[in-house]
Amino acid sequence: MKPTPAGPQLTQLVPEHSLRRLELAITRRLDGLLNGEHLGLLPGPGTELAEARTYQPGEDDVRHMDWAVTARTTTPHVRDLIADHELETWALVDLSPSMDFGTTTLRKRDLALAALAAVGHLTIRLGDRVGTYLLTPHGVRRRPARTGRAAMHAHLQTLLDTPTTEPTPQPITPLATALTSLARGQTRRGLRVVISDFLDTPTTEPTDRPDWERPLRRLTARHQVLAIEIIDPRELDLPDIGTLEMTDPETGATHEIHLSRKLRTRYAAAATAQRERTRAALNRTGAHHLILRTDRDWITDIARFALSRRRVAGRSRTTTPGARP
């Protein structure tokens, strides 16, 4: 299904104006919502230790366990880390045909561009370097990591200039291959951001695991990983509009389908199950999971996510033994 968004798309605007509008919106709103904190988007494996605090099951990483304090107090403690301000961030952006879908004022591809711009803004203001891998149907394109606004604009411009891919019967480069390339090509510890709809290889059984889960797990074993899942509302349920012509964005196959109540119910159930499999797979890998929707305020969603992760990472000085409430 390839509906045309009602409003203007980012890629339909003059690229330079698009980037300026994005930067202005992100700078004003994120800086205000995040209250000017000079911290990274995620708490990373920094070089400076912070205070020890009580371990919270299900929320804290056991790799940050402070065994000395745990042995002394006989209560499990973890050691907070202050994020390293000289990290290298690499973003893998999915530009497969399914990312060209959209039924609101944004396509998923446009929202991926916006997400990359937001991550870049939160990264370059700390002086960190940002590099990108672009997953296209014809392979993976890499741009080297650089610091500064000009380099970030170059990354965004490359994404804007990448043409929309026409449906093709040829095999499309899978997300798992791109993740493997990223892991092998960039071994220096830092932040890795994966921006995708994670609609890569359909599973035939509810218990099947996606092909990208294993390489993503290997990536999280060494780096801080943020998985940004891009969703369009029409991927979750279908409207009651009778007969509709749908086209597979990857193969170009077209079918005329009558959207009966039974079909829409089955579709919604299948979509819910698919999203649950994606959530469970990302949870098993240990990656941080952020969901952005084309019909929501994505800047607010990113800010809320960043604040929630910081609260978890820096929470509980008051829970440390001897600390004043």
| Average pLDDT score over the chain | 78
Would you state the pLDDT for residue 92?
A: 96
pTM as predicted = 0.74
Better pLDDT: 3 or 112: 112
Region 46-65: what's the mean pLDDT? 69
Which residue(s) pair with 136 in the sheet?
A: 139
Residue 215: pLDDT over 70: yes
| Domain coordinates in residue numbering, the chain | 10-38+84-306
State the DSSP code for 62: G
Would you state the pLDDT for residue 50?
A: 54
State the DSSP code for 296: S
Would you state the pLDDT for residue 48?
A: 46
Band (148; pLDDT cuts 50, 70, 90):
confident
* Residues 6 or more apart whose Cβ sits within 8 Å of residue 262: none
Would you state the pLDDT for residue 109?
A: 92
Distance CA 178, CA 134 (A): 8
Distance CA 67, CA 325 (A): 24
Would you state the pLDDT for residue 28?
A: 64
Would you state the pLDDT for residue 30?
A: 63
Distance CA 310, CA 314 (A): 6
Would you state the pLDDT for residue 247?
A: 74
Highest average pLDDT, of 72-86, 105-119, 189-203, comes from 105-119
Region 94-102: what's the mean pLDDT? 89
Largest CA distance in the chain: 69
CATH number belonging to domain 10-38+84-306: 3.40.50.410
CA-atom Rg of the chain in angstroms: 21
Residue 62: pLDDT over 70: yes
Q: What is the pLDDT of residues 232-275, one digit of tens each?
A: 998 888 888 888 777 776 667 788 888 888 888 998 999 999 99
Alpha helices in 125-260 (DSSP H): 149-161, 175-185, 213-220
Distance CA 227, CA 230 (A): 10
Would you state the pLDDT for residue 199?
A: 87
Better pLDDT: 44 or 264: 264
